[in-house]
Structure 1
């Protein structure tokens, strides 16, 4: 009876993950920074990191962890729910939505990293969902859109409708991929909250609150991302970033301790 139970349990794990390697050893945390803005995401460039909350962003020095400057939306301003960001060409681009409002409205908001002045917006409108993360890869923009159960979601559309969309430089859609059912099941009723591409074409994604990352890849055919493996981490979901100086470092946040964590990925 015990053997049968163990076999059933093993089969259940394989069914849930749909991948050969269920979970790697936890990637170790090699650095920590205190940051009260650690609510949504962190982005990073060569010398600074940018910690994102719903309506404010802190710019910190990587060398010391000291706050350099901060931006915040004014009372009654247009910002509602900032999400994950990425630094490209001296600009910080953040996914933004009206979460938990419906219908879901999304945009990409952009800051000059030198001055932390908001410089422009890319309106993405209604239709795809709530924009949660953005990255630059293979000469294209990649934006993930989340869907949620009621009351924060649109009628008859749950997390399984979350989608990764590719855009060209004129923000014209050039492709879209659904997330694997095994990953959707592990989101625990929420959705994708962070994602970054690696140089070798792997996609590292995070959920909303689970202490794990989902390593995905584009399919050879069809429109559903492929789950390669699941990695245990200390940080519990939200936005992530790769270090441009040392690509083996993955930056994340820990909401409950208001920290930025830097983890070492295996090469």
Structure 2
């Protein structure tokens, strides 16, 4: 009788496992561009990619990486652009005063055709931390706010205070989540530096240095993001972007700071 029950349980386990979603993904390098400015992040649209580096943005053709335009915000007081995302012809950049305290943040907005600065949204002293990345999903903004360890910690808050915050189109907070402890440990002493939503409904995130992309999803309950998997990746943390102009596959752009390289990878 015990053997029969065990066998029944084993068979049911196999059947249930067959209906569980598979997260056996791989990330494969398909292209790389040498770009001396590649230090902070990259954004992408149908024809170009945009390299973001503290006070500057450079625009490059996707076919050969050729430089076609540049914006320099030094004279405007821009000191730490963190990442960016292109939405409907505009490049939205996460901007902060890192590593200064108190942490202040804003979103700086550019016309991708001319690479001119067209608008801004200031969070001032951001209650959630230092803005490192932003993306849209289902009409809402999702924004990563970082906290750091050691001398870069703000008011006694360490990396555990790093969070993902959801806003409506008018920048009003809707919800917020924290990262799971295992990722906080991997982020430390820095923090979550990049993030982008995939067409599969999964959130792809990076830390500050590691050659990894972390796949997450929103929890069914509670306040902690669910860590689905970790993908070895040809990046060194920092800001990433998903090319939404490509159909049928997920193309992820990232950077390798030590090599001044923009990388393009396919998630399969």
CA distance in 2, matches of 1:177, 1:187: 16
CA distance in 2, matches of 1:233, 1:209: 11
User: Partner residue of 1:9?
Assistant: none
CA distance in 2, matches of 1:50, 1:188: 28
The answer as to whether partners of 2:33 and 2:64 remain within 8 angstroms in 1 is: no
Shift of 1:128: 1.0
Shift of 1:188: 3.1
CA distance in 2, matches of 1:131, 1:25: 28
Q: Deviations over 1:11-34 (max 9, x none)?
A: xxxxxxxxxxxx967522110111
The unaligned stretches of length 5 or more in structure 1 are 1-22
Q: Deviations over 1:83-131 (max 9, x none)?
A: 1100001100010100000010011110110111111111112211000
If you compute each CA radius of gyration, which structure gives the higher value, 1 or 2? Answer: 2
CA distance in 2, matches of 1:101, 1:219: 33
User: Partner residue of 1:209?
Assistant: 209
| Aligned residue runs from structure 1 range 24-173, under 5 A | 27-75=27-75, 77-126=76-125, 127-173=127-173
Q: Deviations over 1:14-55 (max 9, x none)?
A: xxxxxxxxx967522110111122111000000000000000
The unaligned stretches of length 5 or more in structure 2 are 1-22
The answer as to whether partners of 2:199 and 2:250 remain within 8 angstroms in 1 is: no
Q: Which of 224, 246, 260 is residue 262 of structure 2 equivalent to?
A: 260
User: Partner residue of 1:232?
Assistant: 232
User: Partner residue of 1:194?
Assistant: 194
Secondary structure of the corresponding residue to residue 94 of structure 1: strand
CA distance in 2, matches of 1:78, 1:230: 37
User: What is the RMSD of the two structures over their aligned residues, measured on CA atoms?
Assistant: 1.4
Q: Deviations over 1:227-267 (max 9, x none)?
A: 1111111211001111122242110001001010001110x
CA distance in 2, matches of 1:40, 1:26: 24
Secondary structure of the corresponding residue to residue 210 of structure 1: coil
Q: How many residue pairs align between the two structures? A: 243
CA distance in 2, matches of 1:236, 1:73: 25
CA distance in 2, matches of 1:178, 1:25: 24
CA distance in 2, matches of 1:185, 1:226: 15
**Following TM superposition, where does structure 1 have runs of at least 4 consecutive aligned residues deviating by more than 4 angstroms?**
23-26
User: Partner residue of 2:250?
Assistant: 248
Q: Deviations over 1:156-215 (max 9, x none)?
A: 111110010111110100010001111101113111011011123110100000111111
CA distance in 2, matches of 1:153, 1:105: 13
The alignment's TM-score, normalised by the length of structure 2, stands at: 0.88
Pick closer, same or farther for the CA change 1:120–1:25 going to 2, 3 Å.
closer
Secondary structure of the corresponding residue to residue 65 of structure 1: coil
